[in-house]
Structure 1
Amino acid sequence: MGPFHPAVLIATGLGSGRLPGWPGTWGSLAALPLAWLLQGWLGPVGLAGAALLAFLVGCWASGVYVAAGPDSDPDPSPVVIDEVSGQWLTLVVAPREIAWYALGFALFRLFDILKPWPISWLERRVPGALGIMIDDVAAAAFAMAILVLAVNWV
């Protein structure tokens, strides 16, 4: 399967997951301008819908990517559609301001990297494409909770 196959393009966040170093961070960064546009055009509900769509399409694309994959990793690092979906979900509760988006980005990456329980449990126990995607939804839920507290506290 070539790099321009639709499943590969989706799974790798239009190739952002193939950038060197930190593919998850690159995927999350790539998601930010799209979230900004989506939230501006469609509001928070539209961004939530886009996150859900990214989750559903991401389950398909990551499953195809893993099935055709060059290695046996059940969650290959170039697959970052899970970060895109999780980042968008996190930003649903963020005011459309650069500082809040930056905090949402940082919180999502923190929870996605550290994977406190139950995120780590989901990553280990849920198999396949759903397993690739679901731990990032859980990381987004943690990030959203703190972001909501911060937005209401400031």
Structure 2
Amino acid sequence: MQKVIIFTDGACKGNPGRGGIGYYLISDAGKTLKGSKSYLRTTSSRMELMAAIEALRLLKFPCKVELYTDSRYLADSVNKGWLNTWLASPFFLNRKNEDLWRRLANEMQKHQVSIHWVKGHSEQAQHRLVDRLASRACNSPKPLIDPGYFFKI
């Protein structure tokens, strides 16, 4: 199974406001891929989740993934088992960002994913890169509309 290291970050100007995501993937074969997307009327929490979802969606076959994020919201929800508890609960339908949590869980099922928290604005070069990508995406001239905005942000 191929190993992939992923760095992700989300940013938002206003809450809700214009948002952006950044991701950087590194395969064990040395291939890299970086990218970003921008969104209108979204939140910082949604952008952190979208960054992880979009990065995982890029993987074409099952991989062993080490995903690095500065989002405690994301890291703790997965690492402390909260996400599994939410998914098993009949009350999950009312959970904030339910649409994205379900998408993330679906993407994670395809791979062996370990999520690691890193301090925001750290000196780690890869994390600085995704931070810049996400921040720049917030100002993109052609942002996407976050579909979650129309439901319950």
Name the TM-score, length of structure 1 as normaliser.
Answer: 0.24
The structure whose residues are more often strand, as a share, is 2
Q: Greater helix percent: which structure?
A: 1
